[in-house]
Structure 1
């Protein structure tokens, strides 16, 4: 018998949806609430490393993800010169196992829709436009803004980097600025783009792109963080196009396709880690609610999915929620998440300082770490 009979999941992103799927499949009654009207309405692209794909296969959605995304096994490094010269082509480690690709890019809203549909099919009861307004961590009692209430054996806070759940249970760990901002866009894929290529240097710290489907890519430019909030949509588009002028090769085609202001957005990098147990009473945090890092190693979604997988495994394997269960969860997740967060920040620090750090070595160490199941 599972350690819990009924669970509330707060947040319908990757971590929350994954936990809902696995627990509902294991016979647990699952309610999932999300403040947004539709988690699949917003976003551009997402890069999923092999260890994320391993969990998606566990969730029973790998075939759908593979059909909608774009898989590849190499990483290109290009120069910020007039030719966009290819400097190196690196073979990535298949961190999810030999039978899964090293990396897959896809449209983020498509992934969100696949996961929510799978959670619904597994039996989770999902309510959008609903947020908790009160929470007793000791009793598992929750009130909601629609006037309803509930009592749960466990509340899983998977409500993102600005987690209401984290603050409500008294964990004082807020994200801190990294010093970088990222321009993102979602546009059509030039035929020459068949993997991620990264260019370090030029007016941006990183210029990169990732194919997300047969006809689409996610492209991005990382700069020193600035207040871009005052720019109109048209000005944001012009700013991103101007920054991209320094990059060539496939960037010449990508830049020409950037014509729709609605496809461009700007976000500042932030990071945090709860350096200790992620639970309080009948509440536990996972995903971005517990840890976040700049996307310099593309491990954010992967670590969130791993959190959900490990938590569900323990809840379904143990008969009761005990200190032993929480100790095992902490032992399996905290150091691993810390290593990924610190490595992501180290890469950001090298770039900010214009320092030639051992980027391939750092990436290799993290790849070997996450190749071992969490």
Structure 2
């Protein structure tokens, strides 16, 4: 009789949490370590989850909580810098007709829902812990942790983000590269008539937009050319975002009025990355942002991470040996879909940086979202 398998998941974000929940459901013993001591201390103010992400969240059993905690909608508004509504388009329901096109939700609420589901699954969770050494052989991985403890695992899933230390530790040389853009984000009260995302192309920034995240909240963002973060003191973040948004009309004056606390403003550079060839080395497998990253121009980062976890868990629990062939199948199932999203996300940003006026942004978005309606 085969002994119960034991998996270590490094990282408690979307990919790590989803993988843990699905493997525990199949009876696999899972230990999850997360470097942050406060699991809910997530960067950013809000997140946009499109239908293909919602499809995975439903599979995890958390969809009803996500729907109750966020704000569901089926449209995207395009406005002029002065606030004039130019067009309201119906969004693709990439998760199927029985799910909304999009849900906006506060990042901390989403993380809290996933963390609760991980704990309820029976996984062992340790916070404020890093894996500092991995020694592999043909049967598994011996992992040494920052607190001096060691444990033996049959498989390690590295879901420790775009700057993954595990990726580097196993000899994968891919690194995230800046795309030339950066984003400012902040939470604000939601006016009653903001019932879907609205975006403006042009004005003082490349993109300015806002998305409802709950009954009383939204998150607002502006995208500008990348600047050296070291040149922007954190205490000036509110001033910088207020300067960029001052010329926009519509709901922006009300949003800008809440831009007073620099600690509530998040600034992040856009990056791209795609690990080529395979997403594993021996018994260590990459998932989510550790394997790929893209700018949020298509709002697909979390969705791709959740899909990774779904596909990997499916393969790991179908009764086959955990070997190179299985891990390579995981890569080959995921990489065409991920590549298409990464390339489209980067291309949209590049068109804006280069000032391409006849770029078919709606067409590229539509084709990409149509592809994502297919099951991963």
TM-score class, shorter: over 0.9
Structure 2 residue matching 1:229: 3-state secondary structure: helix
Provide the residue aligned with 1:23 in structure 2. Answer: 23
Q: Deviations over 1:99-145 (max 9, x none)?
A: 11000000101111110110110111100010011002434110001
1:191 corresponds to 2:182: no
Return the match for 1:368 from 360, 367, 370: 370
Q: 1:294 to 1:143 in 2, by over 3 A?
A: same
Residue 177 of structure 1 deviates from its aligned partner by 0.7
Q: CA separation in 2, counterparts of 1:318 and 1:290? A: 25
Q: Deviations over 1:273-306 (max 9, x none)?
A: 0011101100000000000000000000000000
Structure 1 residue matching 2:317: 3-state secondary structure: helix
Q: Contact between 2:25 and 2:121, CA under 8 Å: does it hold in 1?
A: yes
Residue 320 of structure 1 deviates from its aligned partner by 1.3
Provide the residue aligned with 1:316 in structure 2. Answer: 317
Q: CA separation in 1, counterparts of 2:132 and 2:233? A: 34
1:34 corresponds to 2:31: no
Query: What is the Cα-based RMSD across aligned positions, in Å?
Result: 1.5
Structure 2 residue matching 1:180: 3-state secondary structure: strand
Provide the residue aligned with 1:69 in structure 2. Answer: 70
Residue 259 of structure 1 deviates from its aligned partner by 2.3
Counterparts in 2 of 1:263-282, with a 5 A limit? 263-282=264-283
Residue 227 of structure 1 deviates from its aligned partner by 2.2
Provide the residue aligned with 1:328 in structure 2. Answer: 329
Structure 2 residue matching 1:65: 3-state secondary structure: helix
Q: Contact between 1:318 and 1:325, CA under 8 Å: does it hold in 2?
A: no
Counterparts in 2 of 1:1-374, with a 5 A limit? 5-43=5-43, 44-81=45-82, 84-138=83-137, 139-356=140-357, 357-374=359-376
Q: Deviations over 1:331-364 (max 9, x none)?
A: 2101111111000000010010111310111111
Q: 1:243 to 1:335 in 2, by over 3 A?
A: same
Residue 190 of structure 1 deviates from its aligned partner by 1.6
Residue 253 of structure 1 deviates from its aligned partner by 1.5
Q: Contact between 1:4 and 1:315, CA under 8 Å: does it hold in 2?
A: no
Structure 2 residue matching 1:317: 3-state secondary structure: coil
Residue 233 of structure 1 deviates from its aligned partner by 4.1
Q: Contact between 1:45 and 1:108, CA under 8 Å: does it hold in 2?
A: yes
Q: CA separation in 1, counterparts of 2:307 and 2:42? A: 23
Residue 2 of structure 1 deviates from its aligned partner by 9.5
Q: Deviations over 1:237-278 (max 9, x none)?
A: 111111101211111221122222221121111110001110
Q: Contact between 2:42 and 2:111, CA under 8 Å: does it hold in 1?
A: no
TM-score (norm 1): 0.97
Q: CA separation in 2, counterparts of 1:137 and 1:246? A: 56
Q: 1:33 to 1:203 in 2, by over 3 A?
A: same
Residue 97 of structure 1 deviates from its aligned partner by 0.8
Q: Contact between 2:237 and 2:262, CA under 8 Å: does it hold in 1?
A: yes
Q: Contact between 1:130 and 1:144, CA under 8 Å: does it hold in 2?
A: yes
Q: CA separation in 2, counterparts of 1:257 and 1:286? A: 37
Structure 2 residue matching 1:151: 3-state secondary structure: strand
Structure 2 residue matching 1:42: 3-state secondary structure: coil
Residue 232 of structure 1 deviates from its aligned partner by 4.1
Greater alpha carbon shift after TM alignment, 168-177 vs 238-247: 238-247
Q: CA separation in 2, counterparts of 1:192 and 1:257? A: 18
